[in-house]
Amino acid sequence: MPNHQEPKIITGNANPTLGKAVSRRLSMHRGMNVGLVDARVERFNDGEIFVEVFENVRGEDMFILQSTSNPANDNLMELLIMTDALRRSSAARITAVVPYFGYARQDRRTKARTPITAKLVANMMVSAGIERVLTMDLHAAQIQGFFDIPVDNLYASPVFSLDVKHKFKGKLDNVTVVSPDVGGVARARELATRVGCALAIVDKRREKAGEVAEMTVIGDVTDQICIIVDDMVDTAGTLCKAAETLLNAGAKEVHAYITHGVLSGPAIERVTNSVMKSLVITDSIEPTEATKAAKNIRIVPTAPIFAQAILNIWHGTSVSSLFDPESLEPIYDGMYS
């Protein structure tokens, strides 16, 4: 592949704020302006999506930054159509940077006659011409195997660990990381190991889908600062109930660190009125004004880690090196000093 002067970034309408932040970070790293590719992504009156790229991208290493968050179908189609436009414009390579991968919860057949939509989405992305995917905290790790192209799955845990060490400095002996269900134990254990604190689990039992009948705390959380860790928060019903359960089990206070702030329906109101001291999310999904105004919701930026990952892919160097504190801390230098 030709050695181009700079990586080229293009963004859709899903998360333009993150796209601009990544562009600024790349400009800082490169010591020159790495602006977003000039393009328009708009809709006709009937809702059809139209893309036009105004710059020459022939032979370029292109990165499309687009979360497939709400509205998931529109944002997914934007990603596919942008890919087609770049491929027909003779881009050398197209990498999809998808901070939040929609449809990831449909990763297996839970009952008869149901789809595996995550696999369908993977097929569409590859067919459109995407040659590599960069994402963060996939809901199910096996989705990487749905693609026949390289998939780099970043983790928010290293970033969260920096934040936890900063916010709870001097109190880490009294911190316990909590998984909100048995399936998330590996994610919670990773953060607990990085921070060097204890681990607990909230075991939930459902009588029917969408309703949590009973929650039980596995582990001692008496007088502990509990940090619930998960990959996404949607309506926040389970999260808020888990926080109440922990307080009833003797916890001193409860915080939550969750990668993707879907926050649909009554979620923000629930979190605001909940017993949680704070909910920390990333900007993998464009935060709404209500989210930014919520008194106990805080947003951690992902632009530093995504910009560095894009540079590593462009240079052909290791992306997994960003999982090490020695590599990550300089990227967030100044934020947690």
The residues annotated with a catalytic role in the active site are: 204
Residue 206 assigned ligand-binding role: yes
Give how far Cα 62 sits from Cα of 86, 91, 114, 189, 292, Å.
Answer: 8, 7, 35, 36, 31
Residue 230 assigned ligand-binding role: yes
DSSP 91: -
Residue 47 assigned ligand-binding role: yes
Contacts of 117 (CB under 8 A, 6+ apart): 103, 106
DSSP 11: E
- H-helix segments, 151-293: 157-167, 185-195, 237-248, 267-272, 289-293
Residue 66 assigned ligand-binding role: no
- The total of other beta-carbon atoms located within 10 Å of residue 72's CB is 15
Q: Please return the burial class of 118, using the count of CB atoms within 10 Å of its CB with bins 0-12, 13-18 and 19+.
A: buried
DSSP 314: H
Residue 106 assigned ligand-binding role: yes
Residue 29 assigned ligand-binding role: no
Contacts of 77 (CB under 8 A, 6+ apart): 49
Residue 139 assigned ligand-binding role: yes
How many whole angstroms separate alpha carbon 231 and alpha carbon 263? 12
Q: Please return the burial class of 204, using the count of CB atoms within 10 Å of its CB with bins 0-12, 13-18 and 19+.
A: middle
Please say whether the beta carbons of 153 and 231 come within 8 A: no
Three-state secondary-structure class, residue 244: helix
Residue 105 assigned ligand-binding role: yes
Please say whether the beta carbons of 169 and 135 come within 8 A: no
Structure tokens at 309: 């990952």
Residues that constitute the known binding site? 46-48, 105-106, 139, 181, 206, 230, 234-238
Residues that constitute the known binding site for ATP? 46-48, 105-106
Residues that constitute the known binding site for D-ribose 5-phosphate? 206, 230, 234-238
Residues that constitute the known binding site for Mg(2+)? 139, 181
